Amino acid sequence: MKHDYLNHPQADGDVTDVYTGKKDYFGQDWSKSPKTRFWRGQHLSRRAFFRNASAAVGGYFLLPTALSERANAAVSTLSTAKNCIFILLAGAASHVDTFDLKVGSWTPAYFNPTSYNGVLFPQGLMPKIAEQMDSIALVRSVRAWATAHEVAQVWSQMARNPANALAKLAPHMGSVVAMELGDKTQILPPFFSMNIGAGLGQGYLAPFNAPTFISPGGGGLPGSTHPDGEAVFNRRYALALDLDSDLRSSARLGEATNEMVTFNEAARKLMYNPQVSSIFTFDQAQRNLYGNTGFGNACIAARNLLRARMGTRFVQITIGGWDNHVNIYANNANLQAATRALDNGLGPLLADLKQDGLLNETLVVVMGEFGRTVGPLNVQGGRDHHPQQTVLMAGAGIRGRRAIGVTNADGSTVIEPGWSYNREIRAEDIGATIYSALGIDWTQIKRDYPLGRGFEYIPGASTGDYAPIRELWG
C-alpha cells in the first residue's frame, strides 16, 4: 500500500491522534492493541494538552502525573559525549538478519547465532562487531514513521517529518551540533558527511554549520589543492583579499557577506595544510585493516578526525547496499557484502576508539531508515520494506551487551518498549538521545526561524512528546 506520510498527524505537531482511529497509516489495526495505551495513556502531545486545558481548574489531578512531570521538568542533558559518529545504512537493513536476529528455517548456517549476555547476534555474519559487544547496546523497539526510502532517510537525519512545511528549511542534526559545539577558531569543519556527493544540509543555519561532503581515499583531503600549484594559488588568493578588502570590512553589506567571508576563510584553512592532509592520508595497510572499501576508508578518516581534536564534532558515514528485495542471502553479494563492509569498518573503528580512550567520549549510532519484512523470504528470495527496525549504539558510557526493548517472535512489532516512555521509539527519540549525550538541550526552540514559528530542535520535545533513551546508560 502507499504510505500517506504527507498527511501524517505529526505534520502539525500532534502525536496522540495518530492512533485514535482503528488503523494507522501503515494499515495496522490499533483498536485492540495494547500499544494504543503507549500513546494515549503514557503520552501528552501539544494538542492533547490544550484539549485538557479548559478543564484544568477542576480536573488537573486527572491528568497523568508522570506525564505532567515529564512535560514540565527542567531539562537535564546526559552530557556523556563530545563527538558523534552517525552511520546511515542507506537502503534499510534487515533488522531480523542483523541487530534483532530471528532464527528460522531461512537462516543461513554461517550466521552462527551467538548469545551475548542473552542478546542473540549473528556472530558469523559480523564477527568483528561481535568482538565489541561489551560496548554495544541494540535498541530493538524502534519503529520508523514511513517506509519510503528518501522520506525515511531524511527523517532519520533531521529527526522530524520532512514532509512538514515547517521542515523545509530544517537542518541535519549534524548542523545543529555544529552550531552548538562548533568552534570557528579551529581548523577543521565541525561536521563532515562522507561517501555521498551531496545530501541534507544546514537548512536555514549559517554556512559554517554546513556538512563538508567528502569521499576519503587515503590520498589526502580531496579538493584541497589547486591545479596550478600552491604558489600560484597563494598569489591569486592574496590578490583577491586585497581587491575586496573594503567590501569585506563593510558592515553595510549585511550578514550574508560576513557568512561568505567566514566560509572562504574556513576553506582556506584546509588548503595546503599538512596537519589536515595527514588526517586523510593513510597507507594500504591501514585500508586493508578496515576492509579496503569506501566505508572502511571513511571509518579511518573519522577515527583520525577525532584523534586530531581540531574542531570536528559530528561525522556521518553513509553505507549503501541494504535494499535487498531479491536474493538477500546471495553469496558475496547483497546482505553478505553489505555486512562484510560494515563489519570490517565498524569493528576496527570501535576497537581503535576504545584503545585511544576516544570511545568514552564518542557516541556511535548505526541505523537504517527502516527495517524489512520478517519470517520466510518473499517469492524473490528477499525482504521488502517494514517499519520495525533496530538501532545499534555504542560508546559515550553506554552499557553494552544488552538490548533495549523486545519484539515478538518474528520481529514484526514491539511487545516490550524497554524504556520509561513505554512506547515504541521513534527517530525523534534517537535525535533527542544524540543531542542529550552531547550536552545539547533537545527541547530548545530557536526564535530566528524564517517562517516565524520558531525552530524546534526536536518537534514536540518541549512538551514531552519525545525524549532521550536514558536506559542506554543503565
Residue range 7-20, pLDDT digits in tens: 333 333 333 223 22
129: Cα within 13 Å, side-chain hemisphere: 26
Q: Give the Cα-Cα-Cα angle 278, 282, 285 (nearest 5 degrees).
A: 155
Q: Is the pLDDT of residue 401 over 70?
A: yes
Contacts of 81 (CB under 8 A, 6+ apart): 361, 362, 363, 395, 396, 397, 437, 438, 439
| Three-class DSSP category at 463 | helix
Q: Is the pLDDT of residue 104 over 50?
A: yes
- Supply angle C-alpha 12, 52, 164, rounded to 5: 5
68 vs 59: CA distance, rounded Å: 13
Nearest 5°: the CA angle 129, 135, 140 is 75
Task: Choose among 260, 239, 238, 236: nearest CA to 248.
Answer: 260
pTM for the complete prediction?
Answer: 0.83
Tens-digit pLDDT profile for residues 42-68: 333 333 333 333 333 333 333 333 333
Q: Span 71-92, mean pLDDT? A: 89
Length of the chain: 474
Phi, psi of 227 (to 5 degrees): -60, -25
Query: Is the pLDDT higher at 295 or at 221?
Result: 295
The pairing of beta strand 119-122 with beta strand 113-116: antiparallel
Backbone angles phi, psi at 18, to 5 degrees: -55, -40
pLDDT digits (tens, 9 = 90+) for 411-454: 999 999 999 999 999 999 999 999 999 999 999 999 988 888 89
* The predicted structure's pLDDT at residue 199: 92
Q: pLDDT tens across 145-174, in order?
A: 999 999 999 999 999 999 987 788 999 999
pLDDT of 54 reads 34
SS (HEC) of 51-100? HHHCCHHHHHHHCCHHHHHHHHCCCCCCCCCCEEEEEEECCCCCHHHCCC
Residues 352 and 364: their CA atoms lie apart, in Å, by 13
Which pLDDT score is estimated for 354?
Answer: 98
Res 402 pLDDT > 90: yes
What percent of the chain lies above the pLDDT cut of 90? Answer: 68
CA 398 to chain centre: 16
Query: Among 292, 293, 275, which Cα is nearest to 284's?
Result: 292
pLDDT digits (tens, 9 = 90+) for 331-374: 999 999 999 999 999 999 999 999 999 999 999 999 999 999 99
- The residue assigned the cell 558475496 is 332
pLDDT at residue 254 in the model: 64
**Per-residue DSSP letter, 22:** S
- For the chain, the first-to-last Cα distance in angstroms comes to 39
pLDDT of residue 138: 98
Sheet strands (E) in 408-454: 414-416, 445-446
Q: Is the pLDDT of residue 69 over 50?
A: no
The confidence score (pLDDT) of residue 56 equals 33
pLDDT at 474: 87
Q: Give the integer Cα–Cα distance in Å for 124 and 112.
A: 5
Distance of alpha carbon 381 from the chain centroid: 29
Sign of CA dihedral 161, 405, 396, 213: negative
**Which positions ≥6 away from 19 have C-beta within 8 Å?**
30, 35, 36, 39, 40
pLDDT-wise least confident of 194-203, 236-245, 440-449: 236-245
